[in-house]
């Protein structure tokens, strides 16, 4: 086991990680929503990366809300709903 893995397990990183699970990405109206799983105490925060490809490259916006959930799956599903709402309301202004 690498030192970084050991430290993560010792200090609370043994379960969910901040690394995006690209396999869980959802396409929505030309945007890619990647749910992020972040622990906060015994709960999970609502977080997602919203990405869109432009002629000059991919731009991204990290959505973080104070809402917490009892499971990573609940947090991911809620993050996708909130990201869709942000896209509907703000569109490309998310990347300013």
Domain segments of the chain as ranges: 15-95
Q: What local confidence, expressed as pLDDT, does residue 37 receive?
A: 86
Per-residue pLDDT of the chain (96 residues; tens, 9 = 90+): 455 544 445 455 444 455 566 668 999 999 999 999 899 999 999 999 999 999 999 999 999 999 999 999 999 999 999 999 999 999 999 999
Q: How far apart, in whole angstroms, are the C-alpha atoms of residue 37 and residue 66?
A: 13
Contact 69, 43 (CB under 8 A): yes
The residue among 6, 4, 76, 86 whose CA lies nearest residue 39 is: 76
Mention every residue, 6+ apart, whose C-beta is less than 8 A from residue 25. Answer: 32, 33, 34
- Retrieve residue 11's tokens: 């200090």
pLDDT recorded at residue 1: 47
Query: What's this model's pTM, rounded to 2 decimal places?
Result: 0.77
CATH number at 15-95 = 3.30.160.350
């Amino acid at each position: 086991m690498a030192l970084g893995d050991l430290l993560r397990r010792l200090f609370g990183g043994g379960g969910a990680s901040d690394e995006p699970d690209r396999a869980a990405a959802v396409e929505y109206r030309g945007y890619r929503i990647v749910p992020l799983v972040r622990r906060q105490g015994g709960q999970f925060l609502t977080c997602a990366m919203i990405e869109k490809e432009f002629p000059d490259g991919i731009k991204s916006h990290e959505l973080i809300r104070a809402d917490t959930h009892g499971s990573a799956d609940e947090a991911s599903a809620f993050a996708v709903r909130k990201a869709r709402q942000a896209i509907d309301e703000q569109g490309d202004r998310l990347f300013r």
